[in-house]
Copies of this chain bind each other. A is one copy, B any other.
Amino acid sequence: MDKLVISLDCMGGDRAPQIVVDGAALACARYPQVRFLMYGDNQQIAPLLDAHPGLAAITTLHHTESVILNEDKPSTALRSGRDSSMRLAIDAVRDGHAAAVVSAGNTGALMAMAKFVLKTLPGISRPAIAAILPTARGETAMLDLGANIQCDAENLVQFAVMGEVFARTVLGLERPIIGLLNIGVEDLKGVEAVREAAVILRETTLPIVFKGFIEGNDITEGTVDVVVTDGFTGNVALKTAEGTASLYTNFLRDAFKSSWMSKLGYLLAKSAMQKLRTRFDPRRYNGAMLLGLNGIVVKSHGGTDEIGFSNAIGVAVDMALHGFIEKMTDDFNSLQADLDPQKEAAG
B231 touches A183 (CB 8 A): yes
Contact residues in B for A184 (Cβ distance below 8 Å)? 146, 235, 239
Name the prevailing secondary structure of the A interface residues. helix
Docked-complex contact B265 and A240, CB < 8 angstroms: no
Please tell me if A343 contacts chain B, counting CB pairs below 8 Å: no
Q: Tell me the A215-274 residues at the B interface (CB within 8 Å).
A: 215-221, 229, 231-233, 235-248, 250-252, 254-256, 258-259, 261-262, 264-273
A1, chain B: closest CB distance, angstroms = 36
Per the bound structure, the CA–CA distance linking A134 and B146 in Å amounts to 26
In the complex, the answer to whether B217 meets A243 with C-beta atoms within 8 Å is yes
Encode A154-192 as 1/0 by CB contact (under 8 A) with B: 000000000000000000000000000101111110110
Q: Interface-forming stretch among A28-36, A275-283, A306-314, A317-325?
A: A275-283
Name the contact of A240 in the complex, choosing from B74, B232, B237, B264 (C-beta under 8 A): B237
Is A42 located at the chain interface by the 8 A CB criterion? no
Q: Are B241 and A215 interface neighbours, CB within 8 A?
A: no
Interface contact A262-B272, CB-CB below 8 Å: yes
Task: Pick the contact of A191: B149, B220, B229, B270 (CB < 8 A).
Answer: B149
A150 at the interface (CB under 8 A from B): yes
Map CB proximity to B onto A113-150 as digits: 1 under 8 Å, 0 otherwise: 00000000000000000000011100000000011011
| Inter-chain contact B246/A220, CB cutoff 8 Å | yes
Count of chain A residues with a beta carbon within 8 Å of a chain B beta carbon: 71
Pair A269/B265 contact, Cβ less than 8 Å: yes
Whether B271 pairs with A262 at a CB distance below 8 angstroms is: yes
Cβ proximity bits A2-43 to B, threshold 8 Å, 1 near / 0 not: 000000000000000000000000000000000000000000
Contact yes or no, B251 A252, CB < 8 A: no
Question: When the two chains form the complex, which single residue of B134, B186, B267, B276 contacts A252, counting CB atoms closer than 8 Å?
Answer: B276
Give bound CA distance, A274 to B174, whole Å.
41
* Residues in chain B near residue A183, CB distance under 8 A: 146, 149, 231-232, 235-236
Checking B74, B220, B239 against A215 with a beta-carbon cut-off of 8 angstroms, the contacting residue is B239
Q: Could you say which of B107, B108, B247 contacts A134, with CB atoms under 8 Å apart?
A: B247
**How far is it, in angstroms, between the C-alpha of A241 and the C-alpha of B232 when the chains are bound?**
16
**27 contacting pairs across A/B (C-beta < 8 A):** A71-B186, A74-B187, A75-B187, A136-B250, A146-B184, A146-B185, A149-B188, A149-B191, A183-B231, A183-B236, A185-B235, A191-B232, A215-B235, A216-B238, A216-B239, A216-B240, A217-B246, A218-B243, A220-B244, A241-B241, A244-B244, A254-B276, A255-B273, A258-B275, A259-B271, A262-B271, A264-B265
